Amino acid sequence: SQQGEEDPQALSIQEGENATMNCSYKTSINNLQWYRQNSGRGLVHLILIRSNEREKHSGRLRVTLDTSKKSSSLLITASRAADTASYFCATQGNSGNTPLVFGKGTRLSVIA
Amino acid sequence: SAVISQKPSRDICQRGTSLTIQCQVDSQVTMMFWYRQQPGQSLTLIATANQGSEATYESGFVIDKFPISRPNLTFSTLTVSNMSPEDSSIYLCSVEPQADTQYFGPGTRLTVL
């Protein structure tokens, strides 16, 4: 299994601060994706970064990928209370209709 | 994108009984994936369901315990059989209607007493 590790397991910050979450994985990948989950509900797809990409932006999100270190980071800038959720990285080993392997997740609390 | 619904959204069941979870997608997809999320944990793949063939199960999951049906390209069911409290989890289905982006249903929260 290439299940990844994420750190920190829990992160608590003040509104307006930046939040950084890290993810490591074990085997080669086609892409890495980040998801958000609010209160044990369904997952929301945030951003995908392919193995030949090093950095990607989407709104207040910035994702980096270092395939040599088998690691990725998710940065949320100017956090809001509504960003409070669990964040998971997930890797896909092959392109196209293959299952995801999830990291353990980071629980983010943004305090207003 | 894809809109996915699951039924039921939650249930409380007695041990020894079975529950069938439905997953409906608003578009035709080749593969559907079933995941389990135990309390406070991450997601673990149970099986991959391909229309017209037997589901492929991950290590630790067997068909007798988690039978899956895939009668057409927009629908699948997962049954949790002979339940015990250890089966209390959120069960989620997902699909990949476009390359490399998987969408998840809202999940079914199962509590087994």
Secondary structure, 3-state, B40-90: CCCEEEEEEEECCCCCEECCCCCCCCCCEEEEECCEEEEEECCCCHHHCEE
Q: Please name the residue that has the structure tokens 């409070």.
A: A84
B-interface mutation test, from A24, A65, A86, A97, most B Cβ less than 10 A away: A97
How far is A76 from A18, CA to CA, in rounded Å?
6
Q: Give A26's strand partners.
A: none
**How many CB atoms lie under 10 A from the CB of residue A104?**
18
Q: Which residues of B touch A (CB under 8 A)?
A: 30-31, 33, 37, 41-45, 48, 90, 92, 94, 96, 99-107, 109
What's the pLDDT at A95? 67
What's the pLDDT at A96? 67
Burial pattern A51-87, b for ≥16 Cβ within 10 A else e, equals eeeeeeeeeeebbbbeeeebbbbbebeebeeebbbbb
**Per-residue confidence at B85, pLDDT binned at 50, 70, 90?**
very high
B-interface mutation test, from A35, A37, A43, A58, most B Cβ less than 10 A away: A43
pLDDT, tens digit, 9 for 90 and up, residues A44-98 = 999 999 999 999 999 999 999 999 999 999 999 999 999 999 999 999 987 667 8
Asked if pLDDT for residue A1 goes beyond 60, the answer is: no
How far is A12 from A107, CA to CA, in rounded Å?
8
A52-66, B47-61, B75-89: range with lowest mean pLDDT: B47-61
What's the pLDDT at B4? 95
* A99–B33 C-beta distance less than 8 A: yes
Percent of chain B beyond pLDDT 90? 84
Sort out which chain A residues have CB atoms less than 8 A from B45's CB and list them: 99-101
> Is A39 an interface residue toward B (CB < 8 Å)?
no
Asked if pLDDT for residue A2 goes beyond 50, the answer is: no
CB under 8 Å to A80, separation ≥6 — which residues? A15, A110
* B45–A99 C-beta distance less than 8 A: yes
Q: Rounded to a whole number, what is the distance in angstroms from the first to the last CA of chain A? A: 39
* A95–B43 C-beta distance less than 8 A: no
Asked if pLDDT for residue B33 goes beyond 70, the answer is: yes
Residue of A nearest to B94 (CA): A99
Asked if pLDDT for residue B91 goes beyond 60, the answer is: yes
Q: How far is A77 from chain B (nearest CA, A)?
A: 23
Q: How far is A13 from chain B (nearest CA, A)?
A: 20
